[in-house]
Amino acid sequence: MCSYLCLFLYVYTNVHIYIYIYIYIYIYLVRPLLCIQLPTWSAFSRLQAEPSPTTGTFTCHCSQTLCNTRTWGASTTISEHVPNVPQLVNAIDNGVETTTSQKEHEHMTMAEKASEDGYNWRKYGQKHVKGSEFPRSYYKCTHANCPMKKMLERTHDGQITEIIYRGQHDHPKPQPNRRFAVGAVLCSQGGEKSEGFSSLTTGEGKTIFWYVIFHSIFPPGNDFACNNRSQAIKWTRPGILLH
DNA sequence: TATTTTTGACCAGTC
DNA sequence: TGACTGGTCAAAAAT
Ligand SMILES: [Zn+2]
């Protein structure tokens, strides 16, 4: 009887030790590895593009798990590589608390929303556009007489899938607030921003990346009408890069 | 009360 | 000419 009791205590004690070991391995080894497995900008699969029957442009997707890659072009082909935001958010919600969560994003105040690209916007319309899965929202810059507009498409859960900027601001960017302090370079004045990745870093040290494509490379007939200064700019879905 | 969002109507361009 | 589409307006509702 005593030996059974001893055996029970031995097993009971060791089970607790195993549980603690498992927890520590998960916290200090598995979770960091999960972070490392999130996408890097350099490792992408080769693409197979098929032209759109209506526009003649290309849209294809990277086969890599955490990557949404699309390619457009008629004679010129431009690629973009951005992370799959829903999957990233899912990964974040499953244990990477140090990154901006979707819920946090959804509960931004108006001031915080305005700081997403540094300007203040007022919505003036929404339409279902043929060929788009999600409705397109139309925004104007709230600065007096500013001609700048933007259109964006959101999924039903609020994820932005596409942003198109038209025109130029005729005023400096409003003072950024404490949350998004540095690095917020979206549609820069004068259009000198080159094609490529841009990023902003939040006040909490989190970095959001996205890719810029200038309208001028889009094939003729594309519906993103170019104004006389060729400043219509299409922005792709932003991605979140974990630290 | 002021500002923003929603949403149906309207308009212009295209086929 | 009429249908269709995308962009904008504007009144009502929401914040
Ligand atoms: Zn403006």
What is the average pLDDT across A84-90?
36
Tens digits of residue pLDDT in A154-187: 887 777 788 888 888 888 888 654 433 333 333 3
* CA–CA–CA angle A34, A35, A38 (5° rounding): 95
Residues A92-149: tens digit of each pLDDT: 334 332 233 333 333 333 333 433 677 899 999 999 998 888 899 999 999 988 999 9
A125 inside domain: yes
Amino acid identity, residue A31? R
Mean predicted confidence (pLDDT) in A63-91: 31
Confidence (pLDDT) at A162? 81
Distance in angstroms: CA A126, C1' B7: 8
A31 belongs to a structural domain: no
In a domain, A219, yes or no: no
> Is residue A35 assigned to a domain?
no
ipTM: 0.94
pTM over 0.95: no
Are the C-beta atoms of A60 and A69 separated by less than 8 Å? yes
Buried b (16+ CB within 10 A) or exposed e, A15-46: eeeeeeeeeeeeeeeeeeeeeeebbeeeeeee
Q: Using CA atoms, how far apart are residues A209 and A119, in angstroms rounded to an integer?
A: 18
B3 C1' closest Cα residue: A122
- HSE, CB side, 13 Å, CA atoms: give it for residue A243: 11
The residue that leads in pLDDT, A55 or A128, is A128
Q: Mean per-residue pLDDT for A30-45?
A: 31
A155 in any annotated domain? yes
Tokens of A27: 């916290």
pLDDT of residue A101: 34
Q: What is the pLDDT of residue A24?
A: 52
Neighbours of ion ligand 1 (CB under 5 A): A 141, 143, 146, 148, 169
Distance A150 CA to ligand 1 centre (A): 10
Would you give the distance in Å from CA A73 to the centre of its chain?
A: 22
Q: Which residue is nearest to nucleotide C9 (CA to C1')?
A: A124
Span from the CA of A174 to the centroid of ligand 1 (angstroms): 9
Query: Which CATH number do you get for residue A138?
Result: 2.20.25.80
Compute, in angstroms, the gap from residue A36 CA to the centroid of ligand 1: 39
The pLDDT score that the predictor gives to residue A3 is 63
Structural domain count, chain A: 1
**Residue A117 belongs to a domain:** yes
Domain that holds residue A124: 112-172
pLDDT of residue A136: 94
Q: What pLDDT, on the 0 to 100 scale, is given for residue A9?
A: 57
The radius of gyration computed from the CA coordinates of chain A, to the nearest angstrom, equals: 23
The reply to whether A15 falls in a domain is: no
A177 occurs within a structural domain:
no
* Helix and strand numbers, DSSP H then E, in chain A: 5, 10
